[in-house]
Structure 1
Amino acid sequence: MKLSTKGRYSLETMVYLATCRGNCSIRAISDATGISSGYLEQLMIPLKKFGLVESERGVQGGYRIARKDITCSEVLSASEGEFTPTPCQDCKQSDACKAHQIWSMLQDSVVDYTQQVLISTLAAHLVEAEAGGGI
């Protein structure tokens, strides 16, 4: 289960948005995270579609986190899709294969953990450390 750049950057973006007061421009997010503006625009599409971010146009516009109780699992699901374990190459004994069982247990643990971790909790740790936005 390798986290892609898209998933990692989506998590970073959401944590940064959780530290912002009000709307935050793509440029501000880019400056703080080091993620290019063009790529951020692409990341926002699924995050907005899944109701995790809201946007406003205009001079005071930008993006903001949609609600306080967003989990890491929601962000990863929006950006990555479903978590899937990496099965054995060409394995024909999935029920008896110990590697399959280990990957299944690992997947369950990762999903359970990410469902418990709130983006706002991660952001609070950054703000407490005076690192808000400097992800």
Structure 2
Amino acid sequence: MKLSSRGEYALRALICLGGNDDKLVPIGEISDKTLVPINYLEQLLLQLKRNGYVQSKRGVNGGYKLSKKPSEIVIGHVIRNLEGPLAPMGCVSITSYESCPLEEGCLLKPLWALIRDTVAELLDSTTLKDLLDGKVDRKLPDSCES
């Protein structure tokens, strides 16, 4: 999995909206708070709207707001919708499998699968509310703590 600016900026926008208690936030304000250019932000918000995470209202008093509660927005789902599969390599992807010439006896495949599973577990157990509440550091599986 490679998280691009698309995924990071979309999460920034969701965090911004999630911190505004269901009131409409103008795109200029979102841009200022997230440091994402308005033109790019418009594209991201449209995609987030299509995926059911935000809603918008046009006009002078318009803007964007979340269409779900922050506790209902799972970060893993957002990332998959924007970036695609979480697997670091196609040979261990569950949804976009790609064969590998070294398939039989590949000693790296278990590592790639572990990375996929660890990332998926963390992202799928983290909600927007967790991010807003600063609870991400508490999400690490026991095997990841030192």
Superposition TM-score tier, normalisation by shorter sequence: 0.7 to 0.9
8 Å contact 2:15–2:128 — kept in the other structure?
yes
Aligned to 1:15: 15
- Once the two structures are superposed, residues 54-77 of structure 1 have per-residue CA deviations (whole angstroms, 9 ceiling, x without a partner) of 111122211111112101112112
Long gaps (5+) in structure 1: 127-135
Q: Give 2:5's aligned amino acid.
A: T
Q: Give 1:118's aligned amino acid.
A: T
Please state how far the C-alpha of 1:45 moved relative to its aligned partner. 1.9
- Identity score, percent: 34
Pick the aligned partner of 2:131 from 122, 128, 132: 122
Q: How do 1:1-135 residues align onto structure 2 when only pairs under 5 Å count?
A: 1-21=1-21, 22-68=23-69, 69-86=72-89, 91-125=100-134
Separation in 2, partners of 1:57, 1:16: 19
Q: Give 1:24's aligned amino acid.
A: V
Long gaps (5+) in structure 2: 92-98, 136-146
Please state how far the C-alpha of 1:86 moved relative to its aligned partner. 2.5
Please state how far the C-alpha of 1:4 moved relative to its aligned partner. 0.7
Please state how far the C-alpha of 1:42 moved relative to its aligned partner. 0.8
Q: How many residues align?
A: 125
Q: Give 1:108's aligned amino acid.
A: D
Please identify runs of 4+ aligned residues in structure 1 that moved more than 3 A.
Answer: none
Separation in 1, partners of 2:60, 2:68: 23
Q: Give 2:19's aligned amino acid.
A: T
- Quick one: higher RCO (CA 8 Å, sep 6+), 1 or 2? 1
- Let me know the Cα RMSD of the aligned residues: 2.0
Q: Give 1:86's aligned amino acid.
A: M
Deviates more, 1:54-63 or 1:23-32: 54-63
State the TM-score, normalized to the length of structure 1.
0.83
Please state how far the C-alpha of 1:95 moved relative to its aligned partner. 3.8
